[in-house]
Amino acid sequence: MPAFVHVGAAVIALVLGAVVLAMRKGTTRHRIVGGCYAGALLMVNLGALTLSGGSGRFGPFQVLAIISLSTLLAGLVPMRLLPRTTGVIAAHGITMGFSYVGLVAAGLSQVAAQSFPHHTGMAVLAASLATFAVGAVAIFGSIDRAMRRSGIRA
């Protein structure tokens, strides 16, 4: 997959993911926009698996793409196959939230890697850890509120 398709899908996923995070959950609109986000994120990850940065080797961004695909599946499959209990819905919110945090972390890590080529590993680690720390606080701080607004009681 050409790099511009990967980057384009990432930009689309970033925008759609932000829209999903901001909207009321459990609505038809949430499902449609969320499905488009999932499709764009799938394209991003498939693209990441095919890009090697010219090295031809499997690297950290490919590992992160596999983790991202796993998070995406963990967020979507139970909503399709299991009864929508409070636990399943909460897990969906958490895993999908982390799929977005991972997307943001990947983008910031890419920028960090390009900005600090002699310290790529540390730059990527710092960008990722900071993004996941902020994301975890935001996700766990908002999951109860999102469920209450959707009429779900824990």
The answer as to whether 89 is a domain residue is: yes
What is the rounded CA–CA span in Å between residue 77 and residue 101?
A: 19
Domain housing 47: 3-149
pTM confidence score = 0.86
Q: 120-149 vs 86-115: helix axis angle to the nearest 10?
A: 150
The answer, yes or no, to whether residue 39 has pLDDT greater than 80, is yes
Question: What is the number of structural domains in the chain?
Answer: 1
The answer as to whether 154 is a domain residue is: no
What is the average pLDDT score of the chain?
A: 89
Q: 86-115 vs 60-81: helix axis angle to the nearest 10?
A: 160
Burial of 91 (0-12, 13-18, 19+ CB in 10 A): middle
pLDDT in tens, 23-34: 988 899 999 999
Query: Residue 121 carries which side chain, given as an amino acid letter?
Result: G
- Note whether 20 and 30 are within 8 A (CB): yes
